[in-house]
Amino acid sequence: MPGSIKRFSPEECAELGSHSFADCAAVLARQFVDGQFTDEDLQRICRDAYDFPVPLKTLDGYEVDPAVPELAGNEFLLELFHGPTLAFKDFAARFMGRAASHIMSKKDQTRTILVATSGDTGGAIGDAFLYQNGIRVFILFPKNGVSKVQEQQLTTMGGGDANVHAIAVDGTFDDCQQMVKNAFADNQLTRKYNLMSANSINVGRVIPQSFYYFWTSLQLKAAYGDLPIVYSIPSGNLGNLTGGLIAREMGAPIDRFVVGNNVNDPFVDYLETGEYTPRPSQPTLSNAMDIGRPNNFPRISKLFKNNYDDILKVCWGASFSDTDTERHMRRVFAETNYIMCPHTAVGHMAMNAFADDIDIEFLKVTVATAHPAKFADSVERILRTEISMPEPLAKAMTREKVFVETKPNLDALVEILETEMS
């Protein structure tokens, strides 16, 4: 975690809210990087990374305009899936990829990135680092544990002489994550291959996720004044929540965070009992959240100085079954024609549950984490409607898959590294 987190004054926040998203992100990034980056470097990196919109929309498709907030009501979806891989992971991956390349070009070094994915991280990291000089990427994903579209993305961007390699692990995401952790715990291996993490194990993956919470909450405050702002986050590894909490620590006008879990709910269980008990993950419809041992939990504890009561003042949670998720997706589609991915649906259900639990007026922001086309098989089955395939996914679906399979242990991973880099 950062040694300290700068808190911006309300006046500074108002000024940052008047910037574009990319330019606001560059100012925020300045607080977490050293002299290897000038302000101009950060502005260039952020403008290049964030060349796509960050819209706040209503369920009927209206995009919030701070000049006429009365047209939008008080319930929004923060759509974070307009980047190249159509998932929120693009925000962190694209900043991280450009920042790493900036440093590598100065030092004439090579890094080997190991990343475990439960669905979207691998695609975003692979896209962000593809053909970047001085970078090799190995993406570990659970065999039969990601959606058909996600697997197609993961396994078709590399191949041949590309620097991105996909590895299907015969196990769960937790197994993949443990393999990566074990690799970094091996000092000899880390030195030999100059290993670097791109999972939220690496805080460089988490900090950029604070940028969109900071900037969008300022847009809402400018439009709605002092109404409390609450974000609901579909959660698995808790990196997205940690990014939001860092934004709040920096002064973002966010009152509460609602956490939506599927049946893999150790954090919601913690909020209810005060006891944190990791457990084996179970496969669900919202597969990117199938994580029984979220590795960002210690960061959240540290932000609150391990004070459980203080965490409860800011975080509220609820968990839902696949049956709940399917029913909610159908209801929202029938009532509004809005198509949610299963993860977004979990977050939206959690927001509704929170609203039923309290008796105040507030601004509801559900974080829409991925385009529904990334889960086309499930979504089309549930809604009995066809989903149009965005161009990046349509192209990926036509490419040949290239990947290797392995057992869930470090020795098997080392063998692959030696083969690919010999």
Task: Indicate the Cα dihedral angle 46, 48, 49, 55, nearest 10°.
Answer: 90
Give the distance from CA 285 to its chain's centroid.
17
Other Cβ atoms within 10 Å of 205 Cβ, number: 26
Domain 55-82+207-383 and domain 88-202+398-420 have a common topology: yes
As a whole number of Å, the end-to-end CA separation of the chain is: 35
Share of the chain above pLDDT 90, in %: 65
Domain 55-82+207-383: give its CATH code.
Answer: 3.40.50.1100
Q: How would residue 271 be classed by pLDDT, with cut points 50, 70 and 90?
A: very high
Q: How would residue 201 be classed by pLDDT, with cut points 50, 70 and 90?
A: confident
Average pLDDT for residues 158-184, to the nearest whole number?
A: 86
Q: How would residue 224 be classed by pLDDT, with cut points 50, 70 and 90?
A: confident
Task: Indicate the Cα dihedral angle 52, 231, 248, 31, nearest 10°.
Answer: -20
Q: How would residue 123 be classed by pLDDT, with cut points 50, 70 and 90?
A: confident
- The predicted pLDDT at position 51 comes to 95
What would the pLDDT profile of 32-54 be if each residue is shown by its tens digit?
999 999 999 999 999 999 999 99
E strands, 290-398, in order: 315-319, 363-368
What would the pLDDT profile of 67-90 be if each residue is shown by its tens digit?
665 555 789 999 999 998 899 999
**What tokens were used for 364?**
């509801």
Q: Tell me: pLDDT of 159 over 70.
A: no
Beta bridge partners of residue 195, listed in sequence order: 112
Q: How would residue 5 be classed by pLDDT, with cut points 50, 70 and 90?
A: very high
Domain 88-202+398-420: give its CATH code.
Answer: 3.40.50.1100
Q: Give the CA diameter of the chain.
A: 63
Q: Tell me: pLDDT of 160 over 70.
A: no
- Tell me the C-alpha distance between 141 and 117, whole Å: 5
Q: How would residue 235 be classed by pLDDT, with cut points 50, 70 and 90?
A: very high
103-107, 281-285, 318-322, 376-380: which has the minimum mean pLDDT?
A: 103-107
- The predicted pLDDT at position 312 comes to 97
263: DSSP letter? S
> How is the chain split into domains, by residue range?
7-51, 55-82+207-383, 88-202+398-420
Read off the pTM: 0.88
Beta bridge partners of residue 231, listed in sequence order: 257, 365
Supply the mean pLDDT for the chain: 91
- The predicted pLDDT at position 316 comes to 98
Q: Tell me: pLDDT of 184 over 70.
A: yes
**What tokens were used for 128?**
């962000």
- Tell me the C-alpha distance between 411 and 404, whole Å: 15
How far CA 238 is from CA of 211, 265, 315, in Å, comes to 16, 11, 12
- Tell me the C-alpha distance between 312 and 404, whole Å: 44
- The predicted pLDDT at position 396 comes to 83
- The predicted pLDDT at position 61 comes to 78
Contact call for residues 81 and 105 (beta carbons, < 8 A): no
Average pLDDT for residues 216-230, to the nearest whole number?
A: 92
